[in-house]
Amino acid sequence: MKLVVDRIEEDIAVCYLYEDDRIRFDIPLRYLPPDVVAGDHLRVSFELDRESRERERRRAEELLHELTRRQSDEKRFNL
């Protein structure tokens, strides 16, 4: 995916999807290369982080267990 930096407003780069300029992304400059300027093109990709997702799921289950351990089975709820 490619973004175009339209302009810099304070500490935000206002970017648009190259293929569809109706889609806008406001990205804090701290996440971009230090020398980014208006008119630059950025390549962006996404990847799944299944390990992180599973870690968060286990954490939520542990918290739920902690919150409900004193409740009876009929009042217990599941994620």
Encode pLDDT of 12-55 as tens digits.
999 999 999 999 999 999 999 999 999 999 999 999 999 999 99
Around 22, how many Cα atoms within 13 Å sit in the side-chain half-sphere? 1
pLDDT at 73 over 60: no
| Residues 6 or more apart in contact with residue 44 via CB below 8 angstroms | 1, 2, 3
Question: Which residue did the predictor score with more confidence, 2 or 72?
Answer: 2
pLDDT at 61 over 70: yes
pLDDT value of residue 78: 62
